[in-house]
């Protein structure tokens, strides 16, 4: 709503007859009284017009000044709020790169970097009432019992073979460190801490070490153990090869003839010049080796890993960061330690923090105590950069992979089939990413989705596999297929998938279905925000 004021002004007087004009009279043409009164009235009108004009200019100038003053006040108030918020997490070893406030989460995100090593630090600062009270009262020692305290450090790890070195390192660094030289510190934390989350994960292109606790002292202890584990692990020090052998792979002798990947060895007793042969079984062992043997016995896992290897022939995603049991025993201890020193450096690290102001300040100090012992290593980060896989297939690439199945039956097929598409070979903007999410919801998101419904009604397989859109890697992909397919129906399934997608391209989607997909995505985001609020995060 707006208000408009209109001024009624007298008509402007011709400048030729203004009060500054010179009027010449003669005796032959005397100026009568009517003309004199008319001239006087014109002069008065001109003066009134000038007064009104000056008043209008004053009012307009005053309005402009007040509006400008209001804008400046709001800007200064906003900047003052930011200064007040972020000055509380100031630390001389770090420099703020950016900060943003997300109203949906009622929280601030502050991105910093460590000045000496360029390690990135992301701080999630909830705008809770308790935080505001502690800021106003300068009582930072008070802590909210509901506030989740989270620390995480990740390194971009780029494997270039299938030996599983990132996975073996993830296990090994948590098997003792310089400050905590115990055999299994991770198991001690699992049993004796008040953690709400405690784990370590190896992804295709990164290794992550997150911990969380709602107890301040417990959080400090967890963070201290993890920092010392990733920056001073015993597994890469002199005498640490036994950790590599325990967690990665080793030869072991058994007295039983059962077991996979075995060879025989002969022992000889020469005490009385008689040779006694004692047959022993040599077998590969190791925590990661055994874990991946189980993974590679699962057909669904093998199919997913082989699909990614075909889709990314030129990048690190071609290799299995978890390790292929066939290649794990080819990893040497030297390559293991070289990989650690190449990627486990602060310059290649990203650190995440959330909690109360005091927790964050204390964590920043503890993190700096480790980081400042290192120097900047630009190669560590540049060497870990992952390039985009270009779309260079002229036609679909097909491959058949055998796997162990249960006993074949007449009524049920044992084949599995998927088609996987690489969706992008460059960074996508937010609008395009959202479009892919909506499209995935429309195709497979609910029982009435057209692609999902078509495959389920086809009876060409027992269940859908592929899981649709994948967003966990640098590039998006979309996979769809079925398991329990009879051999003679594999080509029919491929044709059905392609025909359904072609039909969608022509017919499009119903507007109501699009609106429903958007609502579903919005509800999913809102639900996650609500759960964060309930959990005090």
102 by DSSP, 3-state: which? strand
Q: What is the distance in angstroms between the CA of the first residue and the CA of the last residue of the chain?
A: 40
Query: How wide is the angle at C-alpha 531 spanned by C-alphas 530 and 532, nearest 5°?
Result: 90
Q: What is the 3-state secondary structure (H, E, C) of 246-261?
A: HHCCEEEEECCCCCCC
Structure tokens at 217: 């002292």
Which H, E and C letters describe 473-532, residue by residue?
CCCCEEEEEEEEECHHHHHHHHHHHHHHHHHHHHHCCCHHHHHHHHHHHHHHHHHHHHHH
Letter string b/e over residues 342-369, b meaning 16 or more CB atoms within 10 A of that residue's CB:
bbbbbbbbebbbbbbbbbbbbbbeebbe
In what helix (H) or strand (E) does residue 103 lie, and over which residues does it extend?
A: none
The first and second tokens of residue 308, run together, are 């990614």
* Torsion on CA atoms 433, 437, 443, 449, rounded to nearest 10: -150
Q: Which residues are catalytic?
A: 170, 247
- Render the burial of 53-78: b for 16+ CB within 10 Å, e for the rest: eeeeeeeeeeeeeeeeeeeeeeeeee
Task: Answer for the pair 253, 266: CB distance below 8 angstroms, yes or no.
Answer: no
For residue 298, give the nearest of 483, 104, 42, 144 by alpha carbon. 483
DSSP E strand stretches across 342-414: 349-354
- Residue 12 per-residue DSSP state: P
| Cβ atoms of 477 and 518 closer than 8 Å | no
How far is the C-alpha of 78 from the C-alpha of 73, rounded, in Å? 8
């Amino acid at each position: 709503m707006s208000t408009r004021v209109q001024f009624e002004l007298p008509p402007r007087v011709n400048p030729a007859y203004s009060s500054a004009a010179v009027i010449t009279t003669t005796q032959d043409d005397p100026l009568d009284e009517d003309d004199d009164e008319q001239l006087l009235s014109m002069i008065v009108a001109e003066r009134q017009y000038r007064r009104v004009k000056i008043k209008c200019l004053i009012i307009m100038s005053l309005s402009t000044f007040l509006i400008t003053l209001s804008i400046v006040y709001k800007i200064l108030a906003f900047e003052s709020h930011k200064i007040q918020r972020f000055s509380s997490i100031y630390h001389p070893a770090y420099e703020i790169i950016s900060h943003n406030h997300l109203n949906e989460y009622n929280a601030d995100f502050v991105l910093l970097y460590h000045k000496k090593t360029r390690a990135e630090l992301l701080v999630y600062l909830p705008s809770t009432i308790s935080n505001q009270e502690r800021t106003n009262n300068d009582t930072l020692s008070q802590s909210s019992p509901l506030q989740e305290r989270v620390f995480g450090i990740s390194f971009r790890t780029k494997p270039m073979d299938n030996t599983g070195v990132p996975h073996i390192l993830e296990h090994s660094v948590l098997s003792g460190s310089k400050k905590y030289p115990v055999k299994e510190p991770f198991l001690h934390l699992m049993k004796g801490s008040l953690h709400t989350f405690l784990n370590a994960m190896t992804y295709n292109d990164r290794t992550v070490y997150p911990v969380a606790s709602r107890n301040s002292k417990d959080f400090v202890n967890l963070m201290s153990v993890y920092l010392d584990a990733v920056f001073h692990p015993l597994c890469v020090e002199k005498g640490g090869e036994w950790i590599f052998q325990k967690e990665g792979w080793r030869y072991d002798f058994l007295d039983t003839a059962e077991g996979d990947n075995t060879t025989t060895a002969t022992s000889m007793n020469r005490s009385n010049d008689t040779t006694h042969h004692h047959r022993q079984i040599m077998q590969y062992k190791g925590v990661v080796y055994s874990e991946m043997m189980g993974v590679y016995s699962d057909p669904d896992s093998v199919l997913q890993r082989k699909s990614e290897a075909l889709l990314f022939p030129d990048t690190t995603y071609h290799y299995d960061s978890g390790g292929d049991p066939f290649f794990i025993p080819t990893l040497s201890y030297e390559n293991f330690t070289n990989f650690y020193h190449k990627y486990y450096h602060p310059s290649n690290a990203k650190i995440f923090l959330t909690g109360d102001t005091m927790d964050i300040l204390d964590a920043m100090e503890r993190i700096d105590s480790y980081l400042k012992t290192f120097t900047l290593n630009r190669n560590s980060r540049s060497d870990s950069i992952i390039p985009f896989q270009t779309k260079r297939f002229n036609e679909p690439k097909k491959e058949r992979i055998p796997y162990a199945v249960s006993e074949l039956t007449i009524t049920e097929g044992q084949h599995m089939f998927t088609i996987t598409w690489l969706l992008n070979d460059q960074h996508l903007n937010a609008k395009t990413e959202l479009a892919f999410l909506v499209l995935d919801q429309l195709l497979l998101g609910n029982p009435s989705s057209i692609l999902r419904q078509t495959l389920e009604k086809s009876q060409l397989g027992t269940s859908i596999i592929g899981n649709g859109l994948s967003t966990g890697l640098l590039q998006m992909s979309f996979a769809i297929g079925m398991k329990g397919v009879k051999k003679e129906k594999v080509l029919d399934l491929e044709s059905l998938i392609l025909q359904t997608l072609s039909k969608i391209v022509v017919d499009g989607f119903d507007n109501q279905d699009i609106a429903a997909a958007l609502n579903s995505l919005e509800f999913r985001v809102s639900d996650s925000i609500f759960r964060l609020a309930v959990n005090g995060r």
